[in-house]
Structure 1
Amino acid sequence: DEALLEEVAAMVEWPVAVTGRFEERFLQVPQEALISTMKANQKYFHVVDGEGRLLPRFITIANIESRDPDVVREGNERVIRPRLADAEFFWNQDRKQPLDAHVERLATILFQQKLGTLHDKAARVEHLATWIAARIGGDETWARRAAWLAKCDLMTEMVYEFPELQGIMGRYYAAADGEPEEVSRAMEEQYLPRFAGDRLPGTRTGQALAVADKLDTVCGLFAIGQPPTGSKDPFALRRNALGALRILIEGGLDIDLESLLEEARQALGERVETDDLTGQVFDFMMERLRAWYHDQGVAPDSFEAVLARRPTRPLDFHHRLLAVSHFRSLPEAEALAAANKRIANILRQAREKGIDFPERVETARLESEPERDLAEAVERLEQEVGPLAEAGEYEPALGRLASLREVVDRFFDQVMVMVDDPPLRGNRLALLARLQALFLRVADISRLQA
C-alpha cells in the first residue's frame, strides 16, 4: 500500500518494523474489513500469503529501536484486538437480517433533492439495468435483483463505519444470503472502474448494473441543469461517463448509446427540466471519449474523422477509429485524404450555389477515360465495401478504398468537374458524391491532416 507507506514514512524518524499477531478467529470476518481497520485506525501493514489471503499477522513501524521489542509487540497486539472485535461485531450484527431487508429504508436516504431518494434511484437503475441486460446476453432477473440490492449495504453498520467498503461488503452479505454468485459479484462491480486504469466488471449483471448506475447519475444531474463546470464535479459525472464508455467498449458490449440515454431520460420522468437531455449527455460523453483516446495517443484528427459520422454505438466508434488509425499508416492515405477534402469542398460549393445533381451516375455521359475508370472503380468497390462496412469490418473496407488512389489522382489531373455544360457537370458531381459516400461508410477522412 503505497499511500500508507508514504504516510507512515512521514510519521517516523527512526523506523523500526515490529511484527505482531492477532487471533485466527478474526479471519472469519471479510479480510477487507480487517485490513481497513488496521490501516485506518492503527496504520498497520497487513500480511498475506502467496495467494493473497490475509494471515493473522501485522507489521507496525516504531519510531525507536526498543531495548525490549516484545513489550512493543504485546502493546500493539493489545491495541488492535478491540478494533478487530468491533469489525467482527459489525459483521455478525449485519448478518442477522438479509440484505434485502434494507430496501425500504433506502427511501429514507436522499440521493439528490430534485432526483429523490436512493429508493427512487434504485427503481430507475432497475429499469436501465434490465434494459441493458436484455441486450448484452445477461439475465434480466438477476439484473433486476442486483439493482434493488445495490445500495442496501449503505444501511449496514460495517459500511457506516468503513464507507470505503461499500459494494465490497454488499458482495459478502449477498453471498451470505444465498444470492446467485453473479448478483453478489455485481454488488462490488457496480462501482468499477473506481479510477483511471482500474479493472472493469467481469459479469454481465455487473456490467449492466455499473452502466445503469453511472448513466442514471449523469443523466439525472444534466436533467436538473447541474452538469459539471470547470473543476466542480461533486457527483463525479466525468468519471462516471468515462467509466460507462470503457465498460461498453472494453467489455465488447454493442449497445446504442443514444437509445440507452433515451431510456434513462424516460426513467427520470417529470424530473427532467432540460431540453434535449439525450443530445446534451451524448455530446458530453463524446468529449470524455475524446480525452480518453487522446491520453492513449490517438491523433485528434482521427477522432474527428470518426466523430463527424456520429456513430451512436461506442463499440462501433472504437472499431472505426482503429480502422482510421491503421489507414493513416498506408502510403495512399495522405493523397486520398487530400482528395476527399477537395471533393468535400466541390460538393459544398455546388450546394451553396444551388447546383442540383442526380443521385445516379449516367454511364452515357462519361466522356473521358479517367472518369469512366473512376466510375467503374466506384461501382466495383460499392459491391465490396458495402458488406464490409455493414459487418463492421472497417479496416479491410478502408484497405479496399486505398486502391482508389491512382484512379482518383488521374481523374483530378485530367477532368474538369465544374464545366459549363449542366448535365455533364451534374453527372461528374454525382460521381464525386458516390465516391465520397464510399469513404463516409467508415469515417470522414477529409478531416485527416497531412
Structure 2
Amino acid sequence: MPDLLIELFSEEIPARMQGAAREALKKLVTDGLVEAGLTYSGAGTFSTPRRLVLALEGLSSESRPTREERKGPRTDAPQAAIDGFLRSTGLSLDQLEKRADKKAEVWFAVVEKPGRAAAEIIAEVLEAAIRNFPWPKSMRWGTGSLRWVRPLHSILCILHDEAGATVVPLSVDGIPSGDTTEGHRFMGPGRFAVTSFEDYAAKLRRAKVMLDQAEREEAIAHGAKNLTFAAGLEVVEDRALLTEIAGLVEWPVPLMGQIPEAFLGLPPEVLQTSMREHQKFFSARNPKTGRIEAFLTVANIETPDDGATILAGNLKVLTARLSDARFFWENDLRVAKAGMQEWAEGLTHVTFQSKLGSQSDRIARIASLAREIAPLVGADPDQAEHAARLAKLDLRSAMVGEFPELQGVMGRYYALQAGEPEAVANAARDHYSPLGPSDAVPSEPVSVAVALADKLDTLTGFWAIDEKPTGSKDPFALRRAALGVIRLVLGNDINLSLTKLFRTALGDYDYRTARHDSLSRGASADEMKIFSGSLEGWIRPAHDEDVASLLAFFHDRLKVFLKDQGIRHDVIDACLAMPGSDDLALLVKRATALSDTLKTEDGKNLLQGYKRANNILTQAEEKDGVEYSFGPDPKLAETDEERALFAALDQAEAKITPAMQAEDFATAMQAMAALRGPIDAFFDTIQINTDNQIIRRNRLNLLHRIRAICSGTADLTKVEG
C-alpha cells in the first residue's frame, strides 16, 4: 500500500492561520479520499511559514468496485418521471430491469462502478481542496482565478511504494504537480527532488527547514532558556507568543540583547507588552529584582557574526518604541500625582454605551453598588466606593491608549503614585478579573467588592436596555461577566442575595434613565424636584421580570460551571427549587453535598426509598382528597421495623435540624443517608394500605414525615433515577 505526500508551497502564511490550515488540509483531503472509497492507516500534517504538508500512510492503491440497486418509478409512470430516473442513474432504458413490486411493475437500476486508481482520485480531491480551501482571508494574483492566502508557487504530490515514487498528475490554475520543493529562502540550496516523506523531511533539515511546528517551538524555548540562564536571567513565559514566533520562522535562531539602562525604570508590564506587541520579543527577567532587563528575538537565519547585526537593528527599533513608552509613562505620572482629576473629567465625554450614558455615569453606578456590596465581603464601604471611582481612570491615560490590554495594571501604578492605599490600588488592577476560566480570582475585600460591582453593573445595564445574549451571540460578553461573578462569589465563599443586588442596580438604572429622559425632553422645574433629593429616596422598584430573568441567566451559567466539576444538572435543579437559590455559595454547598451523597450506595437507595414513599403518599392524598401531614404516633406502630423507623427519624431530625441551621449540608445529608436501612426494612415488611384505617392513616403520616425530612435539603423529586 503506497504512502502519499502533499506539499503546498507558497509565500509566507500568517502564523495565526497555520494551525487551522493544517487541520483543514487534513480534513478536506482525507474526507474526500474516504468518500471516494480509499482507506489509509495514518495521517500527519505539518506547516512552516511557506508550506502546508500532509503525509498519509498505508493508502489503498485503488477504490473498491461498487454495486448499487436503485428502485425507480412504475413501468406505467409518466415518461417525464422515467426520464428523470434515467438521468439520475446515467443509464438508458434498455439497461433497466422490470421487477414486480406489490401490485405493479417498477423499474430497477443496477449501477455498477468499477474501482478507480488512487492517483486519479487523489488528483480530483486535492484540486477540490485547493480551490475550496477555507482561508479566513485569501487573494488572487497574476491573471489566474485561484484564490490562496498568499501566491501559491508549487504543488508537490507523490505516491511512494516499494517500487519507488510517482508523481500524481494534476494542474491547478496553471500550477502543475511535481516531486520537487525548496528549502530555506536564504540558506537553502534551491529546488530539489524527493522520493518519500522520510526523504523529504531529511532533505528539508539539510536545507535549514524544521518541518514540525512543535520542534520549532521546543528549539526556541530551549535556546532562550540557555541564553537567559547564562546571563543570570529567566524567560517570562508566553505560550501564545511562542506559538506565533514558531509560525514565523523555518530555522529558529534565538538571540538575546540588553535593554538600555534608560528604560529599566519602566514598569515590567509596559516593557513586556511593548516588546511583545510591536516586535514579537520575549522578555528576560532578573529573578532577584523582578525587572525586565533583556529581550529575546528569534532570527530566521544563521549569520557569520552570530546575530550581532540583527541585534543591533532590533535594538535601534526597540529604543524608539521604548522611548514612546517612557514618554507616555512620564506624562501619565504627572496627571496621576496631581490626583487624576484630569482623567476623571475626561471620562464624562467618553460614551460607555449610547443608552447607558458615559463612562463617568457608569463609574458612579459602580461606586454606589460597591458601597452596597462592601459589608457583604468584609470591605470598608468608603474605601470600596473610593476605589470604584478611581479604578477606571487609567482608561484616559496615554499608556492604556497605546496598550489597551494594560488597563487595570496601569491603574494600580497610577493610584500608588497618587498616594492611594495599597488596597485601593490593587482594586484598580483586579476589578476586571477574572477575565477567563484560567484567570486568578481576586481575594482582597476591596478588590472583590469593586470587581463584583463592575460585572453586576454591566449585566443589569444591558438587561435594562434589553440587550441580552441570544443563542451564540453575546457581543457584550455578558456570559463571561456572569461567570466572573460566579467565580468571585464561590472563590471567596461569599453569601449574598443576588436578587437584592439586582434590584439595587436596576433601580439605579431606572433613576438615571428617568432623569436623562426628563432632561432631554425639557422637564419643568417642579418635575425636576424629584431628582434633587438623595438617590435612595427616589429609586423605584426594578421590574420583577428583569430580576427573574437575570437570576435564571445566572443559574444557567452556574449549571455549565458546575457540570465541569462533575455535578449533574438534575442535582442542581433539585437544589434550585429550595429557598435561597439566589445565594450562589449556599446553592453550590447544597448541590455539592447532594451530589456527593448520591454517589454513595446509601444515597442511591435512600433516593429510591424517598421516591417510593412520595409516590405512595401522593397517590393516597389524591385518592382520599386529604393531606396526610399530621404527626404520626409511635404508639400505633405494630412491628419492630416500624418502631425502628420512628426512632431513626427522630435521630436523623436531631442531627439534620441544627446542621441545616448552620448550613452544614454535608452533615445533614449524611444523616439522611443513614435512613436508608430503616426505610428499606419498613417497606420490606409493612403494608401501608391496610384495612385498619387508623393504622393506614398513621403510616401515611409517617411517609409524610420521611418526605418532609428528606425534602428539607433538596427537592428530590427532580433528581433522576
TM-score, scaled to structure 2:
0.59
Aligned equivalent of 2:569: 300
Aligned equivalent of 2:638: 368
Offset of residue 447 of structure 1: 3.7
What amino acid does structure 1 have at the position aligned with 2:367?
E
Q: Match of 1:47, SS?
A: strand
Aligned equivalent of 1:154: 395
More helix by share: 1
Contact 1:305 1:446 in 2 (8 A): yes
Q: Match of 2:438, SS?
A: coil
Aligned equivalent of 2:476: 235
Contact 1:224 1:274 in 2 (8 A): no
Aligned equivalent of 1:341: 611
For the residues of structure 2 that align with 1:297 and 1:248, how far apart are their CA atoms? 19
What amino acid does structure 2 have at the position aligned with 1:378?
L
Q: Which moved more, 1:101-110 or 1:48-57?
A: 48-57
Offset of residue 352 of structure 1: 5.0
More strand by share: 2
Is 1:163 aligned to residue 434 of structure 2?
A: no
Query: Compared with structure 1, are the counterparts of its residues 418 and 161 closer, same or farther at alpha carbon in structure 2 (3 Å cutoff)?
Result: farther
Q: Which moved more, 1:107-116 or 1:29-38?
A: 107-116
Q: Match of 1:28, SS?
A: coil
Residue in structure 1 matching 2:559, options 261, 274, 290: 290
Aligned equivalent of 1:90: 328
What amino acid does structure 2 have at the position aligned with 1:299?
R
Residue in structure 2 matching 1:281, options 543, 550, 556: 550
Is 1:37 aligned to residue 274 of structure 2?
A: yes
Contact 2:272 2:292 in 1 (8 A): no
Offset of residue 239 of structure 1: 0.9
Offset of residue 86 of structure 1: 0.7
Aligned equivalent of 1:328: 598
Offset of residue 114 of structure 1: 1.9
Offset of residue 427 of structure 1: 4.0
For the residues of structure 1 that align with 2:477 and 2:657, how far apart are their CA atoms? 41
Offset of residue 400 of structure 1: 1.5
What amino acid does structure 2 have at the position aligned with 1:89?
F
Aligned equivalent of 1:9: 246
1:135-146 maps to which residues of 2 (within 5 A)? 135-146=376-387
Aligned equivalent of 2:255: 18
For the residues of structure 1 that align with 2:470 and 2:622, how far apart are their CA atoms? 38
Alpha-carbon displacement from aligned partner over 1:134-167 (angstroms, at most 9, x marks no partner): 1221111110011111211111111011000011
For the residues of structure 2 that align with 1:364 and 1:385, how far apart are their CA atoms? 20
Query: Which structure has the bigger radius of gyration?
Result: 2
Contact 2:510 2:542 in 1 (8 A): no
1:384-395 maps to which residues of 2 (within 5 A)? 384-395=655-666
Alpha-carbon displacement from aligned partner over 1:166-199 (angstroms, at most 9, x marks no partner): 1100011001111110010011111111111210
Aligned equivalent of 2:367: 126
Offset of residue 446 of structure 1: 4.1
What amino acid does structure 2 have at the position aligned with 1:88?
R
Contact 1:337 1:447 in 2 (8 A): no
Contact 1:245 1:314 in 2 (8 A): yes
Contact 1:100 1:149 in 2 (8 A): no
Query: Compared with structure 1, are the counterparts of its residues 420 and 250 closer, same or farther at alpha carbon in structure 2 (3 Å cutoff)?
Result: farther
Unaligned regions of 5+ residues in structure 1, if any?
none
Contact 1:49 1:55 in 2 (8 A): yes
Aligned pairs, how many?
A: 450
Contact 2:502 2:547 in 1 (8 A): yes
Aligned equivalent of 2:466: 225
Contact 1:46 1:54 in 2 (8 A): no
Offset of residue 11 of structure 1: 1.4
Aligned-residue Cα RMSD (Å) equals: 2.3
Contact 1:333 1:402 in 2 (8 A): yes
For the residues of structure 2 that align with 1:186 and 1:373, how far apart are their CA atoms? 58
Residue in structure 2 matching 1:50, options 287, 293, 296: 287
Alpha-carbon displacement from aligned partner over 1:397-417 (angstroms, at most 9, x marks no partner): 111122211221233234444
For the residues of structure 1 that align with 2:706 and 2:445, how far apart are their CA atoms? 41
1:195-234 maps to which residues of 2 (within 5 A)? 195-234=436-475
Bigger RCO of structures 1 and 2 (CA < 8 A, at least 6 apart): 1
Offset of residue 278 of structure 1: 1.2
Alpha-carbon displacement from aligned partner over 1:69-109 (angstroms, at most 9, x marks no partner): 22221111111001001111111101212334322322212
Query: Compared with structure 1, are the counterparts of its residues 422 and 192 closer, same or farther at alpha carbon in structure 2 (3 Å cutoff)?
Result: farther
What amino acid does structure 1 have at the position aligned with 2:309?
V
Unaligned regions of 5+ residues in structure 2, if any?
1-237, 514-540
For the residues of structure 2 that align with 1:52 and 1:308, how far apart are their CA atoms? 54
Residue in structure 2 matching 1:256, options 485, 494, 497: 497
Q: Match of 1:95, SS?
A: helix
Q: What's the % identity of the aligned pairs?
A: 38
Contact 2:632 2:699 in 1 (8 A): no
For the residues of structure 1 that align with 2:386 and 2:674, how far apart are their CA atoms? 53
For the residues of structure 2 that align with 1:351 and 1:139, how far apart are their CA atoms? 54
Offset of residue 321 of structure 1: 2.1
